[in-house]
Structure 1
Amino acid sequence: MAKIEELHRYYLAEIKDKIFYERKGIEGKQYVVLYLHDAIKEIESFVDTFVQYFPYYVWNEDQLEMLDISINAKAALDNISRKCWSSQVVPKRTTSTNGIYGELYLDFYERIVNERKLITTYASRRSYLNNQESKGFDHLGYIFKNNKLEIVLGEAKYVSGASEACTISM
């Protein structure tokens, strides 16, 4: 299990703060969280995060155990990310209809930033040969908080601004 923990430590140390470095909340709204990031490096930061986290999101632990990040983690993750992207596991959709972008950042946020454990990536599955979007929650996770099990149901949606994100209700 050391390799998974090593990857997790790498993401915390090298990737997390690229897009999740200043947490903001809205007074009186516990379910709304906004993170600020460096707007000048926005594209580079989001691309780096996506590319380097993609193998962790797509592969299972058995596959990740084979990954050697001891010499140059960034190069190893960039290389494996390209292989993941062209694999059968990743559906081939147009960028505008591919939900994987938001789902990956949701997974990164829950598993790396919030340290929640993953139950499953999707609450509902689709066949690997099916190119349609999976239905159901994008992320199911858990954490023990005050000796109680907290279940997290996550859904990723891109919006054009913070005010639109605040209109999504539970």
Structure 2
Amino acid sequence: MHKFEEITVKSETIFKGKMISLQVDEVQLPNGKYSKREMIKHPGAVAILAITDDKKIVLVEQYRKPANQALIEIPAGKLEPGEKPELTAVRELEEETGYRCEKLEFITSFYTAPGFADEILHIYKATGLKKLEEPKTADEDEFVELMEVTLEKAVQLVTENKICDAKTTFAIQYAQLQEVLNAK
């Protein structure tokens, strides 16, 4: 047992939706006292740093209701039950962008908001992109516009706060770092 571990005494699902559920746990703290933890349960997701042969980053713009605005992001989507993250990455890349990749490389995984959610996000780099003649269709409730920008333009969009979500900012900074390291 880790010195900070909290022991779950009781767990109750308050809401179960299509994408998330809300769970409230009663926990015993390391000092023996009790507390409640409200948690959003999420199946996990993937995001793809897709880079074209001419070194452009593939982005999508779509409306995000929780943010009440359209956001510019790297392609992403949630894991389906039992689906491996790399298969989700390939599927989401095809659905959102119409591209298939020759090479898919794992970058990292991280928790998106560990203070209240268990969502883990797996980020991949996709290269060797080829436009599909018959691309998979996006989800019926998903409306996206494709953008392809240079790394410099992507950095500018972050600097101007036109890209403001964590996964995309991380991916662009990762691409910047790779460029610096490859230049040495």
Coarse TM-score class (shorter-chain normalised):
under 0.3
Higher relative contact order (CA 8 A, sep 6+): 2
Q: Normalising by structure 2, what TM-score?
A: 0.22
Alignment TM-score, normalising by the size of structure 1 = 0.23
Computing the radius of gyration from Cα coordinates, the structure with the larger value is: 2
Structure showing the higher strand proportion among its residues: 2
Q: Relative to total residues, which structure has the larger helix share, 1 or 2?
A: 1
